[in-house]
Amino acid sequence: MLEEVTAVRYVDPLRAGGSVPGVVETDDLGTYVVKFTGAAQGLKALVAEVIVGELARRLGLRVPPLVLVRFDPAVASHEPDQEIQDLLHSSAGVNLGMDLLPGARDFRPEMIDVSPAEAGRIVWLDALTGNVDRTVHNPNLMVWHGRLWLIDNGAGLIFHHRWSGAHASLLKAYDLSGHALGSYRPDVTTADAELAPRVTAELLREVVALVPDAWLADEPGFDSVAAVREAYVAHLAARAAESRAWLPTCFASPEELRAAEERRAAATLAARPAWLKQVPNRAGLAPVESDWSRHVGE
């Protein structure tokens, strides 16, 4: 299992994302960004964080250490926002923490050098796990000590939101043309040759075993937690074995991405009622700095 720690102080909510994670200090003297079980995204986002994040780590990618955080809402009694209080009270018990990287910055394309090999490995992982939420506008990457770190992997494993249709998506090729690392010429072919053979059933069982039983219980269509675990293993192992069917090879250029954004902005403006047409559109502007980035930079 992942290491379990206990929250001793709730520091701050991070409002940049819809799940509203929080910065929490724990009894191991650590500080973590905690994603709560009571968030709107539900338990499956936490399951994906564990499986995708720990698989990435075993494939040599950098992911901040994950821990299970036992949380008592009493440690956040000072939080004045009632909506946050409601979230925390519905999250009593075990939640998921990701080590806070002090001084880390949100990744922006071209802000650091990334080799085609590293870009290819990250894109390959995202294609394997169906993570389409690592885009130019929402990279879910941090830069710490000049290196890339993967965060927010909860959007992966799309198939587990409807197990009855999981088999139909087994060989699905997801559109990663707008990937955050697309401009770095990702060498996905080399990454596939290196990583696909390593994603074995044995490795996947090791990773899936890290998910707490309570997060997998009561899954419709399964008669036990063990059966749910094995379903993750079987799906990802089969997908890795047939990687040629879904390997992404085409990435939009910065110019193409800008043109697409301009078309979306124009379409959005055209759809506005007349009284709204004079309101500035934020489309095309640089992404807003995340709460996490602002917090760790203080």
- Return the SS3 of 129: helix
65, 116: one domain: no
Number of domains in the chain: 2
Cα–Cα distance measured from residue 176 to residue 154, given in angstroms and rounded to the nearest whole number = 17
Domain that holds residue 136: 106-245
167, 91: one domain: no
The reported pLDDT for the residue numbered 38 is 96
Q: Is the pLDDT of residue 262 over 60?
A: yes
Cα–Cα distance measured from residue 213 to residue 47, given in angstroms and rounded to the nearest whole number = 10
Burial of 82 (0-12, 13-18, 19+ CB in 10 A): exposed
Domain end point (choices 100, 120, 148): 100
Question: Is 283 contained in some domain?
Answer: no
96, 144: one domain: no
Q: What is the mean pLDDT of residues 221-238?
A: 97
Q: What is the pTM of this model?
A: 0.88
pLDDT in tens, 154-189: 999 999 999 999 999 999 999 999 999 999 999 999
Q: What is the mean pLDDT of residues 229-255?
A: 93
The reported pLDDT for the residue numbered 298 is 45
65, 139: one domain: no
The reported pLDDT for the residue numbered 249 is 87
57, 154: one domain: no
12, 93: one domain: yes
177, 207: one domain: yes
Q: Which CATH number does the domain housing residue 222 bear?
A: 1.10.1070
Question: Is 275 contained in some domain?
Answer: no
114, 221: one domain: yes
One-letter amino acid for residue 118 of the chain: E
